[in-house]
Amino acid sequence: MSDIIIRKDGRAGLITLNRPKALNALTWDMCLAIEAALDDWRHDHQVDLILIDGAGDRAFCSGGDIADMYASGQRGDFSYGQRFWRDEYRLNRKIHHFPKPVVTFLHGYTMGGGVGIGCHASHRIVCEASKIAMPECSIGLVPDVGGSLILARAPGYLGTYLGLTGDRMDAGDAIHAGFADHFIPAAYWEALKSVLITTGNVAAIKAGPPPSSRLKDWQSVIDAAFCAPDVSEIRARLAAQDSPLAAHALPMLDYNAPLAMAVAARIIAAVRQDPTIETALDHEFRYTFRCAAQGDFIEGIRAAIIDRDRSPRWQPHTIDDITAMTAPLGKDALIWEDET
């Protein structure tokens, strides 16, 4: 069985992530296959739109398949992850800039690498079962795949909150935060896909009002805490509150990797100043390029995926470590040569 199903039908180019038992986790080969399809369809006059979905009923895409990164990192080979991220980020940018409508159906879990595939699309559809998150700080990584751009554009300081805590959004939250556009109950999805395939016209997307959002209700309290200049002050402000937000957020901040959270806050702030996909990916790559050799990424994968003990031993860090992880990469920086 192929991990990804790519075909043309009617007026659409169709991509289905096809690893339902692995929650459609994204492999390197899947990234390259999606990129090749987009390159083929960019100038194909028979293709009016792209439709991307996931097989099974549990996930659109739960993230990147990181087991190989752990294995290569254990061997001291950090180039594997660096090459994977370089190719994945190029794909994220292509989806963001793609000249034809890209429609994604984000059912179940859409996390990490799934956000990079699903949430840079022009038309992002969620349903009552959608759960969207950027939980990278819990494994010693930072929100990447261009996700820092969406976080930087979120209302107020909601993006800082989501990036540091990794909190999960439901459909209403995702629309409020800018990770999704349309709420359509899942029962109507197959009929909508058929119309999109037949007509190639995104005007067929008819959505009702979005559901209520917990995060929208918490917005003012989030802004008051997460506008603080660093993670320690954010935590202090939350600890001084007696609020549902504080009770919800503090355990996540206490669990996640301190260095990753400090860098994530710095990245999101930088991207707010220049909110482009290129700026986001450049800052993210500075960290991910170094994270296996210098950060907590390998330990985070061990605790979450390999041993599953949920007891990561994070390294202490200083301001110098934060500066080192965010410094420009020089000759190793991302270079954008493809058309946009």
The residue extents of the domains of the chain are 4-332
CA 325 to chain centre: 20
48, 53, 88, 144: which one is catalytic?
A: 144
35, 48, 53, 136: which one is catalytic?
A: 136
64, 81, 116, 200: which one is catalytic?
A: 64
pLDDT for the residue 340: 45
Note the pTM of the prediction, 2 decimals. Answer: 0.96
pLDDT for the residue 338: 60
pLDDT at 6 over 50: yes
172 catalytically annotated: no
- pLDDT tens string 151-175: 999 999 999 999 999 999 999 999 9
307 catalytically annotated: no
178 catalytically annotated: no
144 catalytically annotated: yes
Torsion of CA 275, 63, 330, 140, to 10 degrees: 100
pLDDT for the residue 191: 97
Distances, alpha carbon 176 to alpha carbons 158, 179, 230, in Å: 10, 8, 24
13, 81, 112, 113: which one is catalytic?
A: 113
Report the 10 Å Cβ neighbour count for 183.
20
Q: Mean pLDDT over all residues of the chain?
A: 95
- Nearest Cα neighbor of 16 from 190, 162, 207 is 190
pLDDT at 8 over 50: yes
pLDDT for the residue 1: 64
* Cα gap 85→205, rounded to integer Å: 33
pLDDT at 339 over 70: no
pLDDT at 266 over 90: yes
- pLDDT tens string 210-225: 999 999 999 999 999 9
Q: Which fold has domain 4-332?
A: 2-enoyl-CoA Hydratase; Chain A, domain 1 (3.90.226)
Over range 316-321, report the average pLDDT.
92
pLDDT at 68 over 80: no
